[in-house]
Amino acid sequence: MKFKRLQTKLLLAIGFVVVISFIATIGFILRKTYLDDKAEAFDKVAILSREYANYVEGEINIAMNTSRLLAQTFEGMKKSGNTDRYVMNNILKNVLEENPKISGVWTCWESNALDGRDKEFANTIGHDETGRFIPTWDRSDNGIVLNPVEGYEETILQAKKNRREIVLEPYFHEIEGKEVLMTSLVTPIAVNGEILGVTGVDIPLYTLQEMTSQIRPYETGYASLIANNGTFAAHGDVEKLGQDIGDTEMALGVKKAVKEGEYHDLLYRSKVTNEDSYTYLSPINIGNSTTPWSFGITVSMSKILENAEKLKKLSTLIALIFIGLILMIINFMTRSIVKPIVKTTDMIIDISEGEGDLTKRLEVYTYDEVGQLAKGFNLFVDKIQELILQIKSNADIVAQSSAEIRVTMDENNKGIEEIANAIADVTDISQSNTAVIEETTASIEQLGSSIEAISGETKDVLNTSEKALDATNEGKLLMNKVVQANNKVNEASKNVGKIIGELRIASDKVGEIVSIISNISEQTNLLSLNAAIESARAGEYGRGFSIVAQEVGKLAEESKESTINIKKIINEIQTKTDNADIAIKETQKIVEVSIEKFNIINKHFDIILESIEDTTSKIESISNSSNQQAQAAEEMSKAINELSMSIVRNTNSAQQINGVIEEQVSSFEEIGANVEELNNIAEKLKEKTDKFKA
């Protein structure tokens, strides 16, 4: 999926990194808390198991010490030869009386091993049918009573075999009408290395059962006391007392750990709580026996991890709240970053399409890279606005100058038309004079006889000459006006050339500014590339910034393309400005040529004027000396010849003037075309610049 908005890209990229980082951190903390709580709970369970194991071990060892003390006492009596059975019974009775936690004490001796007097005590209380000394003192409803020991043979055989203290496996025994789970602690009596008998202490396990049933670690946990044979000597569930722990793989592992006196822990699905449970077993070493027991503490994993679960839920809630806040902050930050970039992009696109509002400026709120971008863009728009205003002003001046040149050209055309009409009159008059002179020459022989006719003709010639003189003077005045108009055209052309020169300089400045902007775009693109490299080095934490660097690089490329478009427009303006400059220069040359030719025409008018004035003067002389024409026939003939030559010169001059006028008309037409082209260029330039609001 491609997202077109930079803000969306930044929000998703940064938000993704932040959310993943936040989730990873919270997950790590929760996992660490879970493991720590679990380890702490396991440690507490282990400590609790060891503490109770030590307590049970101490309680049982108290009874074992009693058994050991009795064995040592009887052993000493045997060695000293003081084997009074009555005294030994009293010792047993006194021990039971002094230890309320003990339910019974007893001793068993091999046949005749005590004092060799077994037959004397046959079938007496505390003895069997052979008289062996096997008394047991038990607590009953009637107090402490003496009974013979039952099943003593197996106990003595086991003592002889192990030659160590013995802990009998738990067994049920009736006390005061109730079946009570008990165990016996047996100590062998050895004299000179030979086992002669044993002493034993019976302890009921209900006191340990009461203690065990009150142990409720983590509210739902329970404790258990496991004998060496794998039966429960105490348990939180009284129904399990005396029962075997089972023959499953897990149970067999527990039995092995109990027999070997090892610490042992295990995770399993408890049948009691129907939950995942953790059990820790601590060995209980009783005396110097080889049959250790174990005390176990079992707790529910749900209770162990209850705080961790609460913390997990609380952390999840807090994480969601903080993720929401972080996303809001990221959204605000990305919006504040992207907003000026979007405005800059919109203005660049607006300007590049030729419909930009150059009066608008980006607001600068920060002094970071985005603020510097907005500030630099505003400076760029300032220069573009100044340039566009200058171009508009110059275009208006060019258009105004073109209009003035057009007016001047119109005036010149009118003057040329008047000159042409005057020259036509001069030509007609010259042709008329030529005809008159021919008639005069043909009639010169008749001068003598027709003085009056000659006089009249002379007056007509005088009038004609005066008209020619007036026309020539008027033509000279018109010629002066044409020269003045040409000078104005020349001055206007120079002004237009100067303005075009300034326009070209302004265009060059715009080109320089565009080059600077292009360089800035390239440097920005390079900085974007460097930023992308640095963000790549930063890994996951630099990914959001890498996307920002890519977007800045794209903006730089867009700015570069915009500057290229502006540069094309400037090059087009420069090209048309150069064409206009060339056209103005050609116009100036044509105007200079026109002025030069009009000066020549002016000189010809001076010659024509002098000729006509001379002709008039001579005609006046003819008129004044008409009476003397006969005498001055030769002089008059000569004067007529000179007049004829003057008229011919006038005609030639008129023809030359007509040719110059035709050239001038052609020049003016060319100037008009150049002015029209210049006006078109100014209009196009104005049309281009009017697209910008400056």
Q: pLDDT by residue (tens digit) across 304-343? A: 777 767 777 777 888 788 778 887 887 777 777 777 777 7
Between the ranges 150-159, 232-241, 386-395, 514-523, where is the mean pLDDT highest? 232-241
Confidence label for 226 from pLDDT (cuts 50, 70 and 90): very high
Mean pLDDT of 676-681: 75
Confidence label for 380 from pLDDT (cuts 50, 70 and 90): confident
Mean pLDDT of 506-513: 70
Q: Which residue has the tokens 């919109």?
A: 346
Cα-based distances in Å from 631 to 452, 459, 634, 637: 15, 20, 8, 11
Q: What is the mean pLDDT of the chain?
A: 78
Model pTM above 0.75: no
pLDDT for position 264: 94
pLDDT for position 460: 72
CATH 1.10.287, domain 369-690, yes or no: yes
Mean pLDDT of 404-415: 72
The domain spans of the chain are: 7-304, 369-690
Residues in contact with 421: Cβ distance below 8 Å, sequence separation at least 6, in sequence order:
none
Predicted confidence (pLDDT) at residue 375 exceeds the cutoff of 80? no
pLDDT for position 694: 64
Of 657, 670, 665, the C-alpha closest to 599 is: 657
Mean pLDDT of 402-424: 71
Q: Is 5 left (phi over 0), alpha (psi -120 to 50) or beta?
A: beta
Predicted confidence (pLDDT) at residue 630 exceeds the cutoff of 70? no
Predicted confidence (pLDDT) at residue 493 exceeds the cutoff of 70? no
Predicted confidence (pLDDT) at residue 165 exceeds the cutoff of 80? yes
Mean pLDDT of 625-642: 64
Predicted confidence (pLDDT) at residue 83 exceeds the cutoff of 80? yes
The DSSP line for 428-472 is: HHHHHHHHHHHHHHHHGGGTTT-HHHHHHHHHHHHHHHHHHHHHH
Predicted confidence (pLDDT) at residue 101 exceeds the cutoff of 80? yes
- Render the burial of 439-475: b for 16+ CB within 10 Å, e for the rest: ebeeebeebeeebeebeebbeebbebbeebbebbeeb
Pick the more confident residue, 500 or 397: 397
* φ, ψ (nearest 5 deg) of residue 232: -80, 115
Predicted confidence (pLDDT) at residue 254 exceeds the cutoff of 90? yes
Query: Which two structure tokens, joined as six digits, stand for 543?
Result: 């990914």
Q: What is the DSSP letter of 693?
A: B
Predicted confidence (pLDDT) at residue 107 exceeds the cutoff of 90? yes
Pick the more confident residue, 638 or 277: 277
What percentage of the chain carries pLDDT values higher than 90?
25
Rounded distance, CA 182 to CA 170, Å?
A: 5
On whether the CB atoms of residues 471 and 422 are closer than 8 A, the answer is yes
Q: Which residue has the tokens 């150069």?
A: 578
Confidence label for 539 from pLDDT (cuts 50, 70 and 90): low
pLDDT for position 577: 67
Mean pLDDT of 442-467: 64
* φ, ψ (nearest 5 deg) of residue 629: -65, -30
Confidence label for 414 from pLDDT (cuts 50, 70 and 90): confident
Rounded distance, CA 10 to CA 417, Å?
A: 78
pLDDT for position 191: 92
pLDDT for position 649: 73
Mean pLDDT of 86-111: 93
| pLDDT tens digits, 548-605 | 667 767 766 776 777 777 678 767 766 876 776 786 677 667 767 767 776 776 677 6
| pLDDT tens digits, 175-199 | 777 889 999 999 999 998 899 999 9
What's the half-sphere exposure (Cβ side, CA atoms, 13 Å) at 99? 25
pLDDT for position 1: 53
Residues in contact with 346: Cβ distance below 8 Å, sequence separation at least 6, in sequence order:
none
The domain covering 7-304 belongs, at the CATH homologous superfamily level, to PAS domain (3.30.450.20)
Predicted confidence (pLDDT) at residue 458 exceeds the cutoff of 80? no
What percentage of the chain carries pLDDT values higher than 70?
69
| pLDDT tens digits, 417-451 | 776 676 667 567 666 656 656 666 666 666 556 55
